[in-house]
Structure 1
Amino acid sequence: MLSGIKVVSFTHFLQGPSATQLLADLGADVIKVEPPQGAFERSWSGPDAYVGGVSVFFLLGNRNARSVVVDLKNDEGKAMLRRLLDGADVLIESFRPGVMDRLGLGYEHLRATNPRLVYCSLSGYGSDGPYRDRPGQDVLIQSLSGLAAATGAAGAHPTPVGASLVDQHGAVLGALGILAALHGRERTGEGTRVESNLLNAALDLQLEPLSYFLNGFRGERSASGISSPFYKAPYGVFATADGHITVSLTSTDALAKVLDEPWFNTIEPDQEYAMREHINARIADRIAEHPTEYWTTRFAEHRIWYAPVNDYADVVADPQVEHNKTVMTINHPQAGEIRLPAHPVRYDGQRPGLRRLPPQLGEHTREVLDELGYTSAEITQLLETGAVRDHG
């Protein structure tokens, strides 16, 4: 769908590479510009997760892209980049605010020679403001944005979510902004500066509870395990006799039937929120009496909203996950067989596949220089001076 769109990526860690991977999956020609030592994610990975010496963290966010190595402190290297960017449709960067300007690659510098350029900056807090120079990282933003304080039972420590969901949502918002800008360019002929940041992404994830708060409704974390400060019971995870199960937003009439507990019929609808802790406690007592399989069968029969509490082993074996082909397998020349989450959207029933393996460092430097019209002698000169480097 994005065939013919050239994206030049100055990104690292997760938010930026994930955003560019979404575009690359859709057919954009993503050229990842890396320093001589390689992008950060090549030498870092979660629980020291390296396969055959290759970072899983790098592999999960850089498929379908090409890699060029450029010394950004070298004038010839920067001249090559400006030549590349003069013909680009999109620049996406995730440096701290001000870095690209200092390199002579800021929006105002580049739009003078390429007014059609869509320029996307991804940051922690935004390109200006009192926090612009603070380190922006997922768990820090979860804490700052109120997300951690809203999660967990009353009296427990504030609890960050167990995944970098703010990074990932920031990536999706960045890709969304780029696609909107490209669509707008079709009408105006002009590029746009697009900005996404982790703080905005974290607040956008809390659209519903934050809206309640902004309009005078105050909620508190639940002592009995309700998973939202603003929802009625049941809404959360309950212990069974041999495990756990999640139950969500079920009427008191239905609860009375499925739990065989007439007490639920005595609750007036306008009292359900005020009595949510009592309701949850009653539900918890009943669910604890029987094993998980008993409740899954009973809840299914009565059309109660429920779900098993899966760990990742359960998730990847789940029949719907398998049916959706959510996990893809790639064969990497160094790491071997690697399984990764696939592109999350289907188009005419199909997910975009693998066109290019996550690139080796500098794998496509010569190829890109050749496309820019550099002669063999000029490419050799750039390599010898260290302005650029290739995989060899």
Structure 2
Amino acid sequence: MLEDVKVLSFTHYLQGPSAVQILGDLGADVIKIERPEGAYERHWSGGESFVGGESMFYLLAGRNQRSLALDVRSEEGKKIVWDLIERADVIVENFRPGVMERLGLGYEAASAVNPGIVYCSLTGYGSEGPYRDKPGQDLLIQALSGLAMQSGRADTPPTPVGSAVVDQHAAVWGALGVLAALHRRRTSGEGGKVDSNLFSAALDLQIEPLNYHLNGTDLYDRSASGISSRFHQAPYGVFATFDEWVCLSLNDMKTMGAVFDDAEMAEWTKDDQFRRREDVNSRIAQHLRTKSLAHWKTVFDERGVWYAPVNDYDAIEDDPQVAHNGSVLSFEHPRAGKVRVLAHPVKYDGQTPGINRIPPSLGEHTAEILRDLGRTEAEIDQLIDGKIVRTNSRA
């Protein structure tokens, strides 16, 4: 769908690489411009996860891209970058504000050379403002944005989400902004500047409770009984059964009373579910602890109860809906062997975009890209010998 779109990626960590991977999944020609020693994500991985010496942190957001290993601070390197900018449709970068300007590669300079360029900056807090120079990192933003204060029990510390949800949400907004700007360019012929930042993305993740607060609603305190939000009625949360865990959501008291053979509970109203929500949640918790998850699943299915087992990742791998949706795809890597990663989450005409290019080795496409720019083999060899560029064949 984006096969005629050329993207230059000056990205590292997760927010930026994930955003350009979305564009690459949709067919864009993404060129990852990275320093000769390689981007950060090639050398670090959560849980020390390296497969065949390859960082899983890199492999999970590196597909459908080409790698150009280049010293952008050198004059020769900058000439190559400018040749690419003249031919590009999109630039995506997620350095701290001011870094690209100091390199002479900021939006104003790029748009002067290529007025049709769509220039997307992914930052922690925005390209301007009082926080622009603060470190922008997922966990820090979860704390600052109030997101961490929405989770956890009353007697526990505020609880961040155990995944980089802010990074990923900001990446999706960045990719969406690029697509909107490209669509506008079809009629106007002009590019533009797109800004997506972690802080705004974290606020957007709280679209429901934060908007309630902004309009005068007093959110409930964090729950002592484990209600999993500060605005829902009970039951709403994770409960212990006799042997495992189960999640309940938005069930009426008549149904719950019948399930547990609790006549008093069956008489409780929706108002009780809000105003006495701790009592409701605690009462349900007492019932659930008496029998196994297998028992409750049978009863819940018969009664139409809204519930879900609380899966670990082993269960996710075996989940039939995960298999049906094609949520996990695999590819063969020359060093890591068989690698499994999460697929692009959207289907188009019933099909999920696949992997046209596995995550490239450092500088794998350097020579190819330079040839596309008209450089001769002698010129490419000179750039390699001068350590201006790096190829995987002459590392």
How much does 1:375 deviate?
A: 2.0
Distance between the aligned counterparts of 2:237 and 2:270, measured in 1?
A: 20
Identify the residue that residue 391 of structure 2 maps to in structure 1: 390
Identify the residue that residue 200 of structure 1 maps to in structure 2: 200
How much does 1:325 deviate?
A: 1.3
Q: Which amino acid aligns with 1:19?
A: A
Q: Which amino acid aligns with 2:213?
A: F
User: 2:42 touches 2:58 (CA, 8 Å); kept in 1?
Assistant: yes
Identify the residue that residue 128 of structure 2 maps to in structure 1: 128
Q: Superposed, which structure 2 residues align to 1:10-25 within 5 Å? A: 10-25=10-25
Q: Which amino acid aligns with 2:334?
A: P
Identify the residue that residue 354 of structure 1 maps to in structure 2: 355
Q: Which amino acid aligns with 2:233?
A: K
Distance between the aligned counterparts of 2:286 and 2:35, measured in 1?
A: 58
Identify the residue that residue 73 of structure 1 maps to in structure 2: 73
Identify the residue that residue 243 of structure 2 maps to in structure 1: 242
Runs of 4 or more consecutive aligned structure 1 residues displaced over 4 Å after TM superposition: none
Tell me, what secondary structure is at the counterpart of 2:48? coil
Tell me, what secondary structure is at the counterpart of 1:222? coil
Distance between the aligned counterparts of 2:270 and 2:303, measured in 1?
A: 20
Q: Superposed, which structure 2 residues align to 1:124-163 within 5 Å? A: 124-163=124-163
> With structure 1 as the length reference, what TM-score do the two structures score?
0.99
How much does 1:381 deviate?
A: 2.3
Identify the residue that residue 225 of structure 2 maps to in structure 1: 224
Identify the residue that residue 333 of structure 1 maps to in structure 2: 334
Distance between the aligned counterparts of 1:204 and 1:262, measured in 2?
A: 41
Tell me, what secondary structure is at the counterpart of 1:330? strand
User: What is the alpha-carbon root mean square deviation over aligned residues?
Assistant: 0.9
Distance between the aligned counterparts of 1:160 and 1:265, measured in 2?
A: 35
Distance between the aligned counterparts of 2:246 and 2:391, measured in 1?
A: 53
Tell me, what secondary structure is at the counterpart of 1:36? coil
> With structure 2 as the length reference, what TM-score do the two structures score?
0.98
How much does 1:149 deviate?
A: 1.1
Q: Which amino acid aligns with 1:74?
A: S
Q: CA offsets per residue over residues 61-94 of structure 1, 9 Å max, x none?
A: 0101000011021011011101101110000000
Identify the residue that residue 214 of structure 1 maps to in structure 2: 214
Distance between the aligned counterparts of 2:147 and 2:128, measured in 1?
A: 23
How much does 1:27 deviate?
A: 0.5
Tell me, what secondary structure is at the counterpart of 2:46? coil
Tell me, what secondary structure is at the counterpart of 2:384? helix
Q: Superposed, which structure 2 residues align to 1:242-261 within 5 Å? A: 242-261=243-262
Distance between the aligned counterparts of 1:303 and 1:187, measured in 2?
A: 51
Identify the residue that residue 5 of structure 1 maps to in structure 2: 5
How much does 1:377 deviate?
A: 2.4
Q: Which amino acid aligns with 2:152?
A: G
Q: Superposed, which structure 2 residues align to 1:165-184 within 5 Å? A: 165-184=165-184
Q: Which amino acid aligns with 1:227?
A: S
Q: CA offsets per residue over residues 319-372 of structure 1, 9 Å max, x none?
A: 111111111111100011111111111111111111111001001011011111
Identify the residue that residue 30 of structure 1 maps to in structure 2: 30
Which 5+ residue runs of structure 1 have no aligned equivalent?
Answer: none
Distance between the aligned counterparts of 2:271 and 2:238, measured in 1?
A: 24
Which 5+ residue runs of structure 2 have no aligned equivalent?
Answer: none
Q: Superposed, which structure 2 residues align to 1:108-127 within 5 Å? A: 108-127=108-127
State the aligned residue count: 392
Distance between the aligned counterparts of 2:296 and 2:136, measured in 1?
A: 43
Worse-matched range after superposition: 373-382 or 118-127 = 373-382
